[in-house]
Amino acid sequence: MDELGVDALLLSLGADLPWLTGYTAMPLERLTMLVLPADGDATLVVPRLEAPRVEARPDSFAVLPWDEADDPVALVGSLVGGRRSLAISDRAWATFLLALQAELPGATWSLASAVTAPLRAVKDADEVEALRRAAQAADRVAAQLLAGEIPLVGRTEAEVSADLGRRLVAEGHQRVNFAIVGSGPNSASPHHEPGARVIGAGEAVVCDFGGTYDGYCSDITRTVFTGPGEPPREFVEVYATVQSAQSDGVAAAAGGTACQDVDRAARDRIAGAGYGDYFIHRTGHGIGMEEHEDPYLVNGNTTPLQPGHSFSVEPGVYLPGRFGVRIEDIVVVGPDGGPDPLNRADHGLAVVDA
Residue 293 and residue 232 share a domain: yes
Residue 319 and residue 262 share a domain: yes
SS3 annotation, 194-232: CCCCECCCCCEEEEEEEEEECCEECCEEEEEEECCCCCC
Nearest to 41 by CA among 17, 60, 64: 60
Q: Sorting pLDDT into bands at 50, 70 and 90, what band is 353?
A: confident
User: What is the C-alpha to C-alpha distance for residues 27 and 10, in angstroms, rounded to an integer?
Assistant: 16
Average pLDDT estimate for 141-167? 98
Query: What is the domain-level CATH number for residue 12?
Result: 3.40.350.10
User: Is the pLDDT assigned to residue 185 strictly greater than 80?
Assistant: yes
Residue 170 and residue 280 share a domain: yes
pLDDT at residue 128 in the model:
98
- The 10s digit of each residue's pLDDT in 238-257 is 999 999 999 999 999 999 99
Contact 328, 221 (CB under 8 A): yes
Average pLDDT estimate for 335-354? 96
Q: Would 2 be classed as within a structural domain? A: no
User: Is the pLDDT assigned to residue 318 strictly greater than 90?
Assistant: yes
User: Is the pLDDT assigned to residue 354 strictly greater than 80?
Assistant: no
Residue 264 and residue 233 share a domain: yes
Q: Which of 67, 98, 119 is the last residue of a domain?
A: 119
- The 10s digit of each residue's pLDDT in 25-73 is 999 999 999 999 999 999 999 999 999 999 989 999 999 999 999 999 9
**Can you give the pTM of this predicted structure?**
0.94
137 lies in which domain range? Answer: 122-352
Q: Which of 95, 119, 143 is the last residue of a domain?
A: 119
Residue 115 and residue 203 share a domain: no
Q: How many domains does the chain have?
A: 2
Residue 126 and residue 114 share a domain: no
Q: How many other CB atoms are there within 10 angstroms of residue 29's CB atom? A: 8
Residue 79 and residue 172 share a domain: no
Average pLDDT estimate for 292-314? 98
Residue 167 and residue 274 share a domain: yes
Q: Would 145 be classed as within a structural domain? A: yes
